[in-house]
């Protein structure tokens, strides 16, 4: 009788048992300071429980019932009301998936990296999802992605395919994300999450970070600061359209769903095939945004950015110096002048190519990657030779994915473009620019050869600025099958990535910059192929402070191209002193974007000194830990940040005055990231020789004093700036 009662009870409460706290299998994904906890049991649901600070005894999370107890990768079809991670239609028209835990496998990759693979299955269909969790222990980073396998009777259609799904509970969640436009990228927005769905997404197809970025920080206990707040930070490693949703319900629960944007992208997965979703990185910080950024920067330099731990060269890019007006004389002169300033790499930007149609402006020539005989009658050889004589490396600008209607390439291959055959193709820049269809292997091969052939012909080319100034306007591919037109947004990028891989395999030493109308390609999807990104076409130093501030939340200084340009600035017309321009550029990967002979002899002298100074602090800026101290939009008229070497024996502090404070004495600025017990000698560097603005010159202080009390600086006029070097002394 009791047995029968038990069975009745079990049947009555079956769903509760299924979704309940069965702790037979507790799966932990651990890093040095964080843990992600799941529960699962073969044949039952795989449940997400917790992500946060390391818990000594993880069973506490289960016993206290504080875990989330939520499906870790929920699919549409059962309980349909909520946003899900996956949506699939099977060959028989069934639109549901119901996934259960099958197995877990832990693989140790090396002392720092481990991979946990959790296999989920559907008991009605031969359909399987593997959720992968790759941990970088020291950096507190988890990379999450899924492999979706169709072993059924025919093709399935994926309508939604998130990389990662994380549920959290919070009384007062605040979301930090980034919004911008051309010339004004990466503005930080911090807003309270309210009930409903907040979405960050992109659908340009190509230039995916000009307006938003697939990166966020979610503060779980109210608005966070640089040093305080429990934060989940995440960023998607994908070069195309993305979508990150924050679905908040009335019960203090926020589901974070992130991955490729599925809009107009349903994907037919043939029988026997696997769809790999892009990786999504997560870190958890219990010490505010600053720590979250530093975790990501460290991981990025060590594991993601191309050659992320190598020193970056100081370069001069020709764009704002001569624009399209390239001649041999002008290029040689710029190289000679830059070499005298101590530069290391010269990059010839747009305007050097095109035979039948020389590239004089944006209206022609993309696709015709031949040196213009009109502009450079002696070819590239004399330029490369002069660079070498000057001790400079030589780099060149390319926009290989694009084509102009006025080009020999278009005359030969009008069918290679992304277009709809029965409609007029909308053109971009110069009313001429269109997009090559990178889903087509023939086009991929062409693009590969654009780069490969150039590098074979000119093996001394050391650097490529890879631009992409168009987007998908007329969505359509004459290469893809009719029923797979919706694959274009994705196949374009798989084709592009394959091409980059092929280029890098043939030319492993080439250094590449991702540019896209300025900062349109700033993601870890790109940075696994690129050494750096062009941060913005806006080179005004005051604007850059804000743009670089936002960018620094996810991307480290060694990848952030930051150039000194002419005054008045070409984008804003604002006049800014050279020192300020240099100091701002020195907080990232320093470069120049002007003709050095536009500087007066005194200014050239200063530039030479500044370049030398940057060389002496480059390792700290490029490989050190970033501490953001005062935000440019804090309203106090000052912006300030510093870098500290990993050993904490050296640091470099920057402060910028953003307004006139004529009658005020500034409060001391508290430094961060130093060792309290070490002693540091502080000295102003990169000064103009007209008197220090640091009150204590060459004095020695403890790290504790510098962090608790701070340093006294005086800056009372807009566009003054100061750089202070800290060196440990015994
Ligand atoms: C884009 C880039 C610029 C420059 C031009 C050249 O706009 O962002 O830096 O290279 O193209 O046409």
pLDDT at 4 > cutoff 90:
no
Q: By alpha-carbon position, which residue is closest to atom 11 of ligand 1?
A: 517
185 lines ligand 1 (CB under 6 A): no
pLDDT at 18 > cutoff 80:
no
Cα(551) to centroid of ligand 1, in Å? 19
User: Per residue in 228-274, pLDDT tens?
Assistant: 999 999 999 999 999 999 999 988 999 999 999 999 999 999 999 99
pLDDT at 11 > cutoff 60:
no
518 lines ligand 1 (CB under 6 A): yes
517 lines ligand 1 (CB under 6 A): yes
397 lines ligand 1 (CB under 6 A): yes
From the CA of 516, give the closest atom in ligand 1: 8
- Tokens 């002069």 identify what position? 386
Q: Do 159 and 96 form a contact (C-beta atoms < 8 A)?
A: no
pLDDT for the residue numbered 568: 98
CA distances from 679 to 45, 436, 628, 704, 705 (A): 55, 58, 21, 9, 9
Distance CA 341, CA 605 (A): 8
317 lines ligand 1 (CB under 6 A): no
Domain coordinates in residue numbering, the chain: 2-304, 315-623, 627-729
CA 626 remoteness from chain centre: 16
535 lines ligand 1 (CB under 6 A): no
User: Which CATH number does 627-729 carry?
Assistant: 2.60.40.1180
Cα(146) to centroid of ligand 1, in Å? 36
pLDDT for the residue numbered 14: 37
Distance CA 109, CA 414 (A): 47
From the CB of residue 509, how many other CB atoms can be counted at a distance below 10 Å? 9
Domains 2-304 and 627-729 share a fold: no
CATH second-level architecture of 2-304? Distorted Sandwich (2.70)
Q: Do 586 and 686 form a contact (C-beta atoms < 8 A)?
A: yes
Cα(518) to centroid of ligand 1, in Å? 7
Residue of 365, 399, 401, 467 with the most ligand 1 atoms within 8 Å of its CB, for mutation: 467
CA 280 remoteness from chain centre: 12
532 lines ligand 1 (CB under 6 A): no
349 lines ligand 1 (CB under 6 A): yes
625 lines ligand 1 (CB under 6 A): no
Global pTM value: 0.96
319 lines ligand 1 (CB under 6 A): yes
Distance CA 106, CA 114 (A): 7
Residue 416 phi/psi, 5° resolution? -85, -5
CA 670-671-676 angle, to 5 degrees, is 110
Average pLDDT, the chain: 95
Length of the chain: 730
pLDDT at 286 > cutoff 60:
yes
CA distances from 381 to 346, 355, 421, 511, 549 (A): 14, 17, 42, 20, 40
What class does CATH assign to 315-623? Answer: alpha beta
Distance CA 504, CA 497 (A): 10
Distance CA 607, CA 439 (A): 45
């Amino acid at each position: 009788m009791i047995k029968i009662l038990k069975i009745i009870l079990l049947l009555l409460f079956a769903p509760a048992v299924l979704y309940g706290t069965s702790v037979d299998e507790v799966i932990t994904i651990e890093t040095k300071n964080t843990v992600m906890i799941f529960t699962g049991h073969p044949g039952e649901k795989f449940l997400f429980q917790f992500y946060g600070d390391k818990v000594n005894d993880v069973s506490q999370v289960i016993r206290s019932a504080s875990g989330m107890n939520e499906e870790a990768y929920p699919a549409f079809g059962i309980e349909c009301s909520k946003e899900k991670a996956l949506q699939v239609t099977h060959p028989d028209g069934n639109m549901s998936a119901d996934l259960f835990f099958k197995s877990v496998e832990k693989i140790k990759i090396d002392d720092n990296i481990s991979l946990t693979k959790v296999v989920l299955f559907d008991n009605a269909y031969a359909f399987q999802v593997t959720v992968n969790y790759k941990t970088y222990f020291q950096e507190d980073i988890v990379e999450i992605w899924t492999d979706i396998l169709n072993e059924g009777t025919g093709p399935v259609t994926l309508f939604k395919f998130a990389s990662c799904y994380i549920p959290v509970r919070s009384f007062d969640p605040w979301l930090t994300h980034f919004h911008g436009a051309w010339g004004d990228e990466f503005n930080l927005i911090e807003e309270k999450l309210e009930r409903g769905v907040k979405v960050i997404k992109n659908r340009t197809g190509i230039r995916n970070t000009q307006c938003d970025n697939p990166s966020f920080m979610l503060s779980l206990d109210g608005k966070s600061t640089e040093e305080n707040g429990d934060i989940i930070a995440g960023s998607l490693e994908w070069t195309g359209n993305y979508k990150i949703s924050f679905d908040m319900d009335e019960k203090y629960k926020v589901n974070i769903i992130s991955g490729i944007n599925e809009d107009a992208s349903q994907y037919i997965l043939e029988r026997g095939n696997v769809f790999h979703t892009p990786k999504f990185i997560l870190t958890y910080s219990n010490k505010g945004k600053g720590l979250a950024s530093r975790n990501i920067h460290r991981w990025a330099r060590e594991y993601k950015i191309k050659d992320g731990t190598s020193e970056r060269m100081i370069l001069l890019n020709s764009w704002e110096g001569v624009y399209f007006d390239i001649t041999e004389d002008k290029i040689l002169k710029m190289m000679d002048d830059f070499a005298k300033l101590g530069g290391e790499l010269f990059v010839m930007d747009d305007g050097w190519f095109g035979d039948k149609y020389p590239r004089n402006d944006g209206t022609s020539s993309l696709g015709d990657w031949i040196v213009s005989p009109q502009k450079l009658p002696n070819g590239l050889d004399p330029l490369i030779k002069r660079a070498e004589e000057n001790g400079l490396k030589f780099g060149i600008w390319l926009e290989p994915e694009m084509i102009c209607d006025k080009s020999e390439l278009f005359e030969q291959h009008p069918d290679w473009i992304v277009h709809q055959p029965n409609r007029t193709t909308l053109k971009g820049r110069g009313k001429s620019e269109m997009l090559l269809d990178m889903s087509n292997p023939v086009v991929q091969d062409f693009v590969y050869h654009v780069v490969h052939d150039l590098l074979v012909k000119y093996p001394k080319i050391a650097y490529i600025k890879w631009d992409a100034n168009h987007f998908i306007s007329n969505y359509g591919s004459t290469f893809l099958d009719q029923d797979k037109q919706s694959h274009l947004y994705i196949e374009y990028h798989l084709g592009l990535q394959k091409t980059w891989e092929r280029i890098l395999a043939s030319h492993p030493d080439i250094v590449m910059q991702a540019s896209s109308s300025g900062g349109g390609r700033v993601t870890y999807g790109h940075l696994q192929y690129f050494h750096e990104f062009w941060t913005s076409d806006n080179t005004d130093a005051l604007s850059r402070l804000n743009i670089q501030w936002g960018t620094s939340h996810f991307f480290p200084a060694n990848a952030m191209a930051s150039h000194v340009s002419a005054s008045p600035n070409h984008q804003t017309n604002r006049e800014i002193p050279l020192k300020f321009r240099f100091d701002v550029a020195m907080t990232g990967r320093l470069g120049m974007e002007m003709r050095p002979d536009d500087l007066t002899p005194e200014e050239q002298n200063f530039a030479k000194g500044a370049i030398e100074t940057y060389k002496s602090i480059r390792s700290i800026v490029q490989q050190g830990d970033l501490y953001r101290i005062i935000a440019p939009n804090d309203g106090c008229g000052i912006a300030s940040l510093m870098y500290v070497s990993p050993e904490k024996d050296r640091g470099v502090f920057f402060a910028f005055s953003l307004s006139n404070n004529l009658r005020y004495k500034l409060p001391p600025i508290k430094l961060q990231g130093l060792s309290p017990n070490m002693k540091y000698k502080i000295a102003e560097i990169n000064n103009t020789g007209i008197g220090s603005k640091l009150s204590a010159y060459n004095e020695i202080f403890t790290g504790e004093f510098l962090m608790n009390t701070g340093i006294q600086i005086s800056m009372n006029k807009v566009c003054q700036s100061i750089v202070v070097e800290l060196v440990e002394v015994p």
